[in-house]
Structure 1
């Protein structure tokens, strides 16, 4: 017997509910990696190639998350109008971000963890003079990366001082041609 009080005609099909888990699991993975001290950088070529598909996945995730929230009648019973409005607005935005990030970073990140080897990728510096904070010391901003993941953190200040916009750097670490976990960086010669 199910504890779900939502009428069967209002519930999302089982396949849809299962598919909604994919962006929910893969989307925040890069954030969790940073929280545990591992920065993953997708390859600029990968982000450029997969970008349109990632936006489509993000849009589908946004619609899916919105549909799941709308179909859950318990939300309408448990929460007041302001909380429901916040959920209705926030859920599609979160779905868009999670779907996009799952495709551009989450999937390649899992592959890098499971089958990665030593890899080097080239990135172009856009800014290297901004002040860092405790979460990102000595930030180096790089071109062509998804928002929130467009900077490299915790590299030596001496290295950062040698960089100007337009300079290319080579980042090495465990990964694949689609992205690497940052272990070291050097100027491209």
Structure 2
């Protein structure tokens, strides 16, 4: 369980810090499709294990946390279910993006990858301006923010976008985007 928590924290830190510095990581759609059953299986297993541990311990773990005020039994159940969901989804994210992030950091090289555009004119949301949505990726990876407006204006649903950066065929840290000719 400690190993799972360490993986969740480290992968989340790498993804958040890379996004904070303006260089986001995007896994390859074929990699995500390949590991999706494993990722969701691991996420469900971790979520159920966390819920099972909370139920087996009669949810008294919340009484031992130093800064948590006394909770009602209903609040403890809600917190246990919520924590299980968060850890389960975090596990899906870790399994989906952890190995390509580690590979990109340890053995990556400068490369480019073509992504398909699903929605080139997605509405802006909380600090994400000039937003587009990439196709064939789960919601946690498909959003691209702060894309150049001149480039964004040329995109249509189904058009292709070349991402240049540092990584492996399974994913890369994005440095720049440019319009791409259809790979067909």
Equivalent in the alignment of 1:63: 48
State the TM-score, normalizing by the size of structure 1. 0.81
Contact 1:76–1:84, Cα closer than 8 Å, also in 2:
no
SS at match of 2:116: strand
Q: Distance in 2 between matches of 1:104 and 1:26?
A: 14
Equivalent in the alignment of 1:25: 9
1:155 aligns with 2:140: no
SS at match of 1:181: strand
State the TM-score, normalizing by the size of structure 2. 0.83
Which residues of structure 1 form unaligned runs of 5+? 1-16
Q: Distance in 2 between matches of 1:103 and 1:156?
A: 31
Q: Distance in 2 between matches of 1:188 and 1:144?
A: 17
Moved more, 57-66 or 154-163: 57-66
Equivalent in the alignment of 1:39: 24
- Choose which of 32, 36, 46 in structure 2 pairs with 1:51: 36
Contact 1:128–1:160, Cα closer than 8 Å, also in 2:
yes
Q: Tell me how many residue pairs correspond in the alignment.
A: 173
Cα drift, residue 27 of structure 1: 5.0
Q: Distance in 1 between matches of 2:105 and 2:60?
A: 39
1:165 aligns with 2:150: no
Cα drift, residue 163 of structure 1: 0.1
SS at match of 1:20: helix
Aligned Cα root-mean-square deviation (Å) = 2.1
